[in-house]
Amino acid sequence: MGLVHWIAVAIGLSGSGGAPVHQEAGPQGVEIRAADIRVIDGDTIAHSGTRIRLLGFDAPETHALSCAYEHRLGRAATRRLEALVTGGHPLHLAVSGRQDRYGRELGHLYVGDQDVGTFLILEGLARPYRGGRRGPWCRADRGAVE
């Protein structure tokens, strides 16, 4: 079996159509349509005109980049989040009622019963984040922005 299958099994998706293998305590929030979401980057979406910073993970930036590696990984994280949103699985959005320092709402987006951050972290496109200072994505051996 390939890596993608093992990742799917690890996060609870398998079989035809990627249906959830098990159902844990369901996600909080309201069910929403994929057509009502615009992916801004790997950890930010817009829903009904409101920008929402997704909690629990940090994805690389897609603007104000420090290196080519961050640019590539940020674009990959954005594309993956878009694929998760448009993949045909039920989507639930839970907004906390709080805002970050940029005025974005804070919340969680679930695909099936899994937070989207779980997918991105397991696939190496994001890392866990619980607030505070975020670490850099670039290292000297990865080169400067081209």
Q: Average pLDDT by consecutive 10-residue portion of the chain (146 residues)?
A: 38 36 51 96 96 96 83 95 96 95 95 95 94 77 46
16 inside domain:
no
Question: Is there a domain that residue 31 lies in?
Answer: yes
Residue 7 confidence (pLDDT): 39
Predicted local distance difference test score (pLDDT) of residue 27? 60
Three-state DSSP state, 24: coil
Give ∠ CA 24-27-29 in degrees, rounded to 5.
160
- Between CA 109 and CA 131 the distance in angstroms is 17
pLDDT confidence of residue 111? 95
CA-closest candidate to residue 125, choices 61, 53, 65:
61
Of all helices (H) and strands (E), which one includes residue 106? strand 105-111
pLDDT at 142: 52
Query: Residue 72: inside a domain, yes or no?
Result: yes
Domain that holds residue 87: 27-131
Quick check: is 55 in a domain?
yes
User: Is residue 142 situated within a structural domain?
Assistant: no
Residue 82 carries which side chain, given as an amino acid letter? Answer: E
Residue 17 lies in a domain: no
In this structure, is residue 87 part of a structural domain?
A: yes
User: What is the domain-level CATH number for residue 100?
Assistant: 2.40.50.90
* pLDDT of 95: 95
Cα separation, 31 vs 34, whole angstroms: 10
Three-point CA angle 82, 125, 10, nearest 5° = 90
Examine residue 73 and state whether it is found in any structural domain, yes or no: yes
Structural domain total, the chain: 1
